[in-house]
Amino acid sequence: MDLIKRLMPLIVLAAVLALFYTFDLGRFLGFEALAEHKAWLSAWVEAHAILAPLLYIFIYISVVAFSLPGGLVMTISGGLLFGANLGALYAVSGATIGATALFLIAKTSLGDFLLAKAGTSVKKMQAGFADNALSYMFVLRLVPLFPFFLVNLAPAFLGVPLRIYVIATFFGIIPATYVFALTGSGLGGVLDQGGNISLSNVMTPQLMAAFAGLALLAMIPVIYKKFQSKSGTADERG
């Protein structure tokens, strides 16, 4: 019985992934599906003002917690269906809760399996978290230096406190989430005119440059700390 309890997270994860890929549920988390069902989704959201946001957040939580593909599409669809402000709020809430759930799951017996899935990239993050965990988490949230699921998992293996993880996740994903939700809010007219949505239309060089600038700002405490450390060493030698 104890063995079953320890293995239960792994069993649930395996079952969800099996269902997801067996029934090709990923087709509902793509830009084509969003464009195809936009009219129906908009009508349903309008008719279910309370249920629609709750269902959207629940789906977003599931996507992040089980590391399923489709986070970007979910964020853009949030802006499309709820508007930029509410869409961003719902997306940030769902992503933060889902990431926190994955963080906690990594602390269970499922952690060894997830650590193997993460590979050696976790070690590459170790120095950054050691210098300044909060600032480094902000950087990882602002700029996709590593896959999103890896950024969700690595802090759990590297001893980052849950409080820092949640704060950095919530506030760190706000800029990108709002931009993508804002992008989604402007896609209604494009889709109504028969236009298409593609990743290249969303991830523009200007957008990536803006995220890089925000990441540099988040790195200022780390750079300052290293500068102070070197200055102190130089003073001691002098």
Q: Where are the alpha helices (DSSP H) in the chain?
A: 2-22, 31-36, 38-47, 51-65, 71-82, 84-105, 111-118, 121-131, 133-142, 148-157, 162-172, 174-185, 187-192, 199-202, 205-218, 220-237
Reported as a single tens digit per residue, the pLDDT across 99-130 is 999 888 887 756 666 666 666 667 777 777 77
Q: How far apart are CA 214 and CA 129, in angstroms?
A: 18
pTM exceeds 0.95: no
pLDDT value at 3 more than 50: no
Contacts of 161-165 with C-beta under 8 Å, sequence gap 24+, read 161/133, 162/100, 162/103, 162/104, 164/133, 164/134, 164/137, 165/99, 165/100, 165/103, 165/137
Q: For residues 74 and 59, give the distance between their C-alpha atoms in angstroms, rounded to a whole number.
A: 9
More confident residue, 204 or 168: 168
Residues of the chain with pLDDT > 70, as a percent, come to: 61
Minimum mean pLDDT range among 14-28, 77-91, 109-123, 175-189: 14-28
